[in-house]
C-alpha cells in the first residue's frame, strides 16, 4: 500500500515468518514490531497475496494509513529525529527513531495540502540495504559497470604483458644477436658450426625398430599444423626423436638460429650437425634418406637449395621451389609416375589450401581463440615446460593476437563469411578424391606422404570445436580415425 509516490515504502510487520513468506509487513499491529524498507516491485505481489489470504484486510490497512498520515497541522502525525506519534494509541518500538533517522526526510508537497510523505533513496541507505532494494535496471547497470571495469583491467594487464614481453624479447634478441650459430649463405646453410644450446626436452619418442641411424631433435609448437605434419611423418615411419617445445611468444628456444620459424629439425649425422627447415623439406629429405639407407643425407640436402629473390615491392623472399620432390637416387621405386605426381599435388594442396582454413575457424571469436589456446596449454604440457607468467603470456596474448590475425588471414585467402563452410568444403574435397581412388588411403592400401600431410594438418585442431563440427558435417572422421591408428602403430616401418 502506497502512502505517497516514492521508490521505497515503510511498513512494520507482525510476524517474521509471514514476512519471509509473502514480503508483507502488517501495520495494523499493537505488538512490538520493527521497521523494514521494501521496494515497490514487491508491492503488487504482496497485495495480491494478501487479498487471497486475508480478504478485506488490505482495505482496512489502506484506511488505517489514510487516517494515520494526516497533515502536520492536525498534530496527529509528526516526523522528527526523536519520535513518531501515531493515532489510536498505536506506537512503534524505541528502535524506530534510530532506524528511521536518516532514512526518512520530511517533505512538503504544495499540491497535496502539506501532507507529510515518506521519502527515501538508495543514496541514504547503508550499502547492504541499497544493494538489496535496487531496481532490476539499477542492478543490471551496476553489473555492466563491474564487467566493464573487469574488462578494462584485463585489457590493461594484457597491454602491460605485451609491453613487458616486447621489452624482454628485444633485450634477449640483442643479447643473443651475436650468438647465432648458422653458417653464412655463401656456404651450405643446412650445416651448423656447432650444436645448438641445450634445452629442456619436452619428451622423447623412441622405437625399437628405428633403422635411420639419425639423432633427431625437433623444435616445434605442439599444435602448429606444419609441426604436426612433420611429427606425423616421424611417428609413422618410427624415427626416434626428441621434442623441444618452443615458446610461441618469446621464442627463447630459437634464439640460436637465423631461421626463426618452426618446425626445425636438427640432426647429428656422422660428424656433422644438420639443420633442416620447412616441414615439407623435412618430410621430403628424410623420406629420401629412409627410402635409400645407403644414400648420403648431406648430398640429399644439396638437392634442396634455397632460392632468394626480390619481389616488385622490394621485399626479399626465400623459397625452396622443389620442396615436394623426392630424391630417390639409385633406389628402386615400385611406384608409377602418375602416383608420385598425384602425391605431390595433394601435399601442395594441404599447404596452400587446407592449412589456411584452420585459423579463421579456431580463432573466430575471442572466446573461441582463448579456448583454443587453453587446449594448446593442455596438449603441449605447458605447465611442466614453461613458467607461470610465460604460460599466461602465451595463452592470453597469443589468443588475442591470433584472433586479430585470423581475421586478416580470412580475407587474404578468400575464406567464406562462414569460415566453417570453407573447412567443410576442404574436407569434402579430400574425401571426394579418396572416394574416386577407391582405396582406404590416398596411397592405396597404406598411407602415403599426402595422407600424412592432410592428417598432420587436421590433427592440429583435433581438440577444437571446429574439428568436432567438421566430423559432424562431413565424412572426414572415418578416414582420420584410420590414420590415427596407423600413425600410432608406426606402420610405415613395414613399408620401408
Q: Strand pairing of 307-310 and 316-319?
A: antiparallel
Reduced to 3 states (helix: H, G, I; strand: E, B; else coil), residue 491 is: coil
The grid coordinates listed for 144 are 555492466
| Residue 297 buriedness (CB in 10 A; 0-12 / 13-18 / 19+) | buried
Output the nine-digit C-alpha cell for 92: 512503534
Whether residue 224 lies in the annotated active site = yes
- Asked if 441 and 451 touch (Cβ cutoff 8 Å), the reply is yes
> Cell numbers of 418, please?
562462414
Options 221, 241, 386, 455, the catalytic residue: 221
- The answer to whether residue 464 is catalytic is no
Which member of 12, 227, 427, 464 is catalytic? 227
- 162: its cell numbers: 605485451
* DSSP code string of 198-263: P---SEEE--TT--S--EEEEEE-TT-HHHHHHHHHHHHTT--EEEEEPPTTT-GGGTT-S--SS-
Instruction: Out of 46, 224, 228, 427, pick the active-site residue.
Output: 224
From residue 300, how far is each of 188, 204, 295, 362, 484 by CA, in Å?
12, 26, 8, 37, 29
Can you count the helices (H) and strands (E) in the chain? Answer: 19, 11
| Contact predicate 418/427, CB 8 Å | no
Residues 6+ apart with CB under 8 A from 216: 234, 239, 240, 241, 242, 265, 266, 267
Integer Cα distance of 221 and 162 in angstroms:
20
For the chain, the first-to-last Cα distance in angstroms comes to 90
Cβ 61 vs Cβ 27: under 8 Å: yes
11, 226, 236, 363: which one is catalytic? 226
| Residues belonging to the active site | 221, 224, 226-227
Amino acid at each position: 500500500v502506497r502512502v505517497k509516490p516514492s521508490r521505497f515504502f515503510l511498513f512494520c510487520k507482525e510476524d517474521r515468518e509471514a514476512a519471509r513468506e509473502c514480503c508483507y509487513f502488517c501495520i495494523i499491529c499493537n505488538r512490538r514490531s520493527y521497521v523494514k524498507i521494501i521496494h515497490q516491485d514487491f508491492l503488487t505481489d504482496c497485495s495480491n497475496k494478501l487479498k487471497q489470504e486475508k480478504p478485506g484486510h488490505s482495505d482496512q490497512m489502506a484506511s488505517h494509513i489514510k487516517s494515520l498520515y494526516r497533515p502536520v497541522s492536525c498534530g496527529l502525525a509528526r516526523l522528527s529525529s526523536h519520535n513518531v506519534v501515531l493515532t489510536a494509541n498505536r506506537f512503534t518500538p524505541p528502535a524506530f527513531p534510530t532506524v528511521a533517522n536518516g532514512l526518512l526526510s520530511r517533505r512538503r508537497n504544495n499540491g497535496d495540502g502539506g501532507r507529510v510523505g515518506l521519502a527515501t533513496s538508495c543514496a541514504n541507505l547503508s550499502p547492504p540495504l541499497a544493494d538489496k532494494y535496487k531496481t532490476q535496471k539499477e542492478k543490471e547497470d551496476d553489473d555492466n559497470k563491474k564487467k566493464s571495469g573487469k574488462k578494462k583491467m584485463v585489457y590493461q594487464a594484457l597491454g602491460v604483458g605485451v609491453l613487458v614481453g616486447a621489452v624482454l624479447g628485444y633485450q634477449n634478441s640483442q643479447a643473443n644477436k651475436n650468438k647465432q650459430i648458422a653458417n653464412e649463405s655463401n656456404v651450405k646453410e643446412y650445416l651448423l658450426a656447432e650444436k645448438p644450446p641445450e634445452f629442456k626436452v619436452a619428451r622423447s619418442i623412441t622405437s625399437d625398430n628405428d633403422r635411420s641411424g639419425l639423432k633427431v631433435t625437433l623444435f616445434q609448437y605442439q599444435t602448429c599444423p606444419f609441426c604436426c605434419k612433420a611429427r606425423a611423418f616421424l611417428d609413422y615411419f618410427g624415427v626416434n626423436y626428441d621434442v623441444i617445445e618452443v615458446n610461441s611468444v618469446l621464442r627463447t628456444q630459437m634464439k640460436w638460429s637465423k631461421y626463426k620459424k618452426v618446425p626445425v629439425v636438427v640432426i647429428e649425422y656422422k660428424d656433422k650437425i644438420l639443420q633442416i627447415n620447412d616441414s615439407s623439406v623435412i618430410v621430403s629429405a628424410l623420406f629420401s634418406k629412409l627410402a635409400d639407407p645407403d644414400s648420403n643425407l648431406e648430398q640429399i640436402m644439396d638437392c634442396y637449395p634455397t632460392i632468394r629473390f626480390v619481389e616488385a615491392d622490394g621485399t626479399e623472399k626465400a623459397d625452396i621451389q622443389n620442396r615436394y620432390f623426392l630424391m630417390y637416387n639409385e633406389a628402386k621405386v615400385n611406384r608409377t609416375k602418375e602416383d608420385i605426381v598425384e602425391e605431390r599435388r595433394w601435399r601442395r594442396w594441404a599447404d596452400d589450401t587446407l592449412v589456411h582454413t584452420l585459423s579463421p575457424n579456431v580463432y573466430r571469436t575471442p572466446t573461441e581463440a582463448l579456448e583454443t589456446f587453453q587446449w594448446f596449454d593442455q596438449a603441449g604440457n605447458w605447465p611442466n615446460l614453461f613458467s607461470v607468467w610465460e604460460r599466461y603470456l602465451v595463452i592470453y596474448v597469443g589468443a588475442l593476437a591470433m584472433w586479430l590475425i585470423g581475421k586478416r588471414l580470412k580475407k587474404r585467402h578468400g575464406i567464406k563469411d562462414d569460415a566453417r563452410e570453407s573447412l567443410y568444403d576442404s574436407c569434402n574435397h579430400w574425401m571426394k578424391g579418396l572416394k574416386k581412388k577407391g582405396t582406404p588411403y590416398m596411397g592405396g592400401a597404406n598411407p602415403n606422404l599426402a595422407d600424412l600431410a592432410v592428417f598432420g594438418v587436421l590433427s592440429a585442431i583435433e581438440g577444437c570445436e571446429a574439428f568436432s563440427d567438421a566430423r559432424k558435417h562431413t565424412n572426414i572422421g572415418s578416414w582420420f580415425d584410420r590414420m590415427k591408428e596407423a600413425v600410432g602403430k608406426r606402420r610405415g616401418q613395414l613399408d620401408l
